[in-house]
Amino acid sequence: MATNKELDIPFELLERNESETNDASRSETPPIPEELNLLPLREVVIFPMLVAPLGVGRESSVRLVHDSLQGGNRLIAVTCMKDPTIEQPTINDIYTIGTVVAVQMMAQVPEGIRLIVQGLRRFELVELVQTTPYMRARIRLIPEPEVPKEDELEVEALRRSVSQLFQRIVQLSPDLPDEMQSLPSRVQGPGALADLIAAQLPRISFQERQEILEIIPIKQRLHRLLELLSREVQLLELSNRLQSEVVQELGKTQREYYLREHLRQIQKELGEGDERTQDIEELRQKIESSGMPEEARKEAERELNRLSRMNPAVPEYNVTRTYLEWMTSMPWQVSTQDNLDIKHVKEVLDADHYGLDKVKDRILEYLSVRKFKTEGPVRQPILCFVGPPGVGKTSLGRSIAHALGRKFVRISLGGVHDEAEIRGHRRTYIGALPGQIIQGIRRAETNNPVFMLDEIDKVQADFRGDPSSALLEVLDPEQNCTFRDHYLDVPFDLSKVLFIATANVLDTILPPLRDRMEIIEIAGYTEEEKIAIAQAHLIPKQTKEHGIQNKIHFTPESVQLIVRGYTREAGVRNLEREIAAVCRKATRDFAEGRYKTRKITPRVVEEYLGAPRFENEEAMERVERPGVATGLAWTPMGGDILFVEATAMPITSNRPSTLIVTGQVGDVMRESAQAALSYVRAHAAEIGAPPDFYEKHDIHIHIPAGAIPKDGPSAGITMTVALASLFSGRPTRPLMAMTGEVTLSGKVLPVGGIKEKVLGARRAGIKTVLLPERNRKDLYEDLKPEIRKEMHFHFIKDVKQALNLALEPPRKHSAEHTETANSREKEAPGQKRIRKVEPIAPSMPA
């Protein structure tokens, strides 16, 4: 079969085409038989009345040509193959529309036969009558149609448009000689013109040529050809424009290279070493390969051009060079792939930290969104972990990075008071550097690390600026995609960074900054959680650090004793210290040869650590006398209990009574004390106090631990109960604590920090807790059922209900009880008064 892949017709053959095409109507076509030898062509389409060269190389095709020439008529039926890779085509592998050609010339060449053929008529393949040694087919000739009169004007317009577009193609195409512009004017018939132009278009596919060959109506043929010509003109114009731009750019590049080479030779003659030029070239290559955005690249190239013209002895030379090194070392396009295996991430988080379900759920929710949203940017959460020290906020951030498969960066904001620590210094200053944000990104070598901003609540502001205000842009997902450090002075995209902030309190965080973060509160651990953490994490860690993994064993009772008797905190830092102390003392015993292994029991714990420092007797003993009530307090270290003591002092002179409040309390707590006193005075008869008790006594309210500042309205109910106990002479019930804000009308309002306060009461041995009714939902949401079952909770709406629950039943009244309410009961030396705990009404279900 023919193997031509490009229909390359010499121009002299085209001239012959013109004459033969113009004389087609005058010359008679030789008689064409119904059966002809069929020659399949590879990627070649031959049109009627056109001359084309063919190359024949296969043995069967060469035999077909020889047999055809021996027949005398020199006619062959040719058609194009649908797939040029097929070696042995069948009737299904060739197009059914082809051209009958006459062999004009034949030449023998080493690789086969070279032919020059002329197309005669279109034909339609009817059937194959022979397949070996070559194909022979029965055909049906397709006559050239006439143009209907109603279409003559449209056909003429199409002919002119086709002629103009073809002339434009000849002008634009370097593959076609300029003489071919005159071809359309020499061909009269519109059908012959369409065939001629379709054969000469250099860049259309053989399928499109075959499509033109198969279109019989001249009007439709010209329409399709016009579409192909229009596309070709557009492609050629675009290609020429692009080539022109490339030539201009290439000329500019060559000019710069020429000048740079001259400059290098001049510098060499002046004695300036090639090392500087090499450094500049290295920086240029780093800029090109860094992947920085367009604005950053322009700035870097501008600085590099300044550097290339600068004397190395100038101080600004090192400043500019350092800036370029920062620009090229930033991970503009470097990202790590997130681990989207939700189950594996959950296992990693659970293995590293016990509890903390809210934080883990939020991370898993974020990964679930990443798993399903595969296109477009994914908004990174800005998390803020708020909780007391030692609950694992910082280590949780490191665990999140490990679970996600990201790099981890941590900076401490405690005591930071310079805005430049966040945004960096401008390059005009000596020793200027980028801020901690950009430095952390560079250390991570990726643009999507887990970035921890530790102790964000301890940021300070002074005359050098407010770092909290600088963090507003960093932690805003709508703005941090164009974060501009003062040193780099170009935008850097921080939207892919997972920012995690930690804080002990929220009050000191700037409100707009707090609004940008998703607050996740991490309360203190319960006793059960501390025991589980100690057994799963702290004990293995400390025994490994002391090298006694297989020599020491802690019993569950000993761990419980350490948690209850030696630590009273929200976190586990002190618990780890006590475990470390036990391990150190055991290690010394092993070193001195007293033991080879040691089982740590409660007795061994007391031997190593001494007597327990925290006992529950304090909550029992402090409220033995009237005028003392136990309250609940929230601190940055977690929840705790506090005692409110009230005492009355007789007035010795004729003056009004006064209220004294001590214990380093704030204005809000002082006002709560005044409101509590006003309520007790207004309801003295209901409480059981003499009506003139206040007029004859000065009242002093003291809250111990005077070195610790205290403030807030949540101690209002505690002060009210303490004053009512003092006035009525009825002690408060032991192992009972309370919290709530009190109004003058006796309403108990809700307060915050319920979970921390309840856990603090539980650690102190409190068994009964009075809470405002509107805090019931907080108790059920934040505390586990097992904790609620261990303690009794009463939800109070007003002060009367609180007094009925908190004060012991009234005893038989004596006339002088009011005078003795403030005096201590005398006890015999060496004896201790045993107080009977009165039963309390059943608690509300918790």
Binding residue numbers: 387-394
For this structure, is 252 an active site residue? no
| φ/ψ of residue 771, rounded to 5 | -130, 150
Name the helix (H) or strand (E) containing 103: strand 97-109
User: Rounded to whole angstroms, what are the CA distances from 533 to 62, 576, 591?
Assistant: 89, 10, 28
Is there a contact between 545 and 416 (Cβ–Cβ < 8 Å)?
no
Furthest-apart CA pair in the chain: how many Å? 153
Q: Which of 360, 407, 755, 757 is catalytic?
A: 757
CA separation for the pair 722, 706 (Å, rounded): 18
Q: Which residues neighbour 666 within 8 Å (Cβ) at sequence distance 6 or greater?
A: 709, 710, 711, 712
Residues in the annotated binding site for ATP: 387-394
Cα-flanking dihedrals φ and ψ of residue 780, to 5°? -70, -30
Instruction: Select which of 714, 725, 728, 755 is catalytic.
Output: 714
Identify which of 284, 293, 165 has the alpha carbon closest to the alpha carbon of residue 232: 165
Tokens encoding 144: 């050239």
Strands 75-80 and 748-749: unpaired
Phi, psi of 712 (to 5 degrees): 120, 155
What is the C-alpha to C-alpha distance for residues 677 and 662, in angstroms, rounded to an integer? 15
Phi, psi of 390 (to 5 degrees): 85, 5
Separation between Cα atoms, residue 372 and residue 365, nearest integer Å: 11
Give yes or no: 714 in active site.
yes
The residue behind tokens 């010339």 is 105
Report H helices in 495-546. Answer: 511-515, 527-533, 539-545
Check residue 381 and report its DSSP letter. P
Closest CA to 9 of 123, 163, 119, 167: 119
Q: How many CA atoms lie within 13 A of 303 on its CB side?
A: 24
The answer for residues whose C-beta is within 8 angstroms of residue 794's C-beta and 6 or more apart is 768, 769, 770, 771, 801, 805, 843, 844
Indicate the SS3 state at residue 729. coil
Yes or no: say if 643 and 597 are a contact pair by the CB < 8 Å rule: no
Nearest to 573, CA basis, from 538, 601, 532? 538
Burial class (CB in 10 A: 0-12, 13-18, 19+), 683: middle
Report whether 333 contacts 515 (CB < 8 A): no
- Residues 247, 250, 254, 257, Cα dihedral to 10°: 170
Q: For residues 17, 20, 24 and 28, what is the CA-based torsion angle, rounded to 10 degrees? A: -130
Contact 417, 460 (CB under 8 A): yes
Q: Would you say 471 and 422 are in contact if contact means Cβ atoms under 8 Å apart?
A: yes
What's the rounded Cα separation, in Å, for the pair 740 and 796?
9
Catalytic residue numbers read: 714, 757
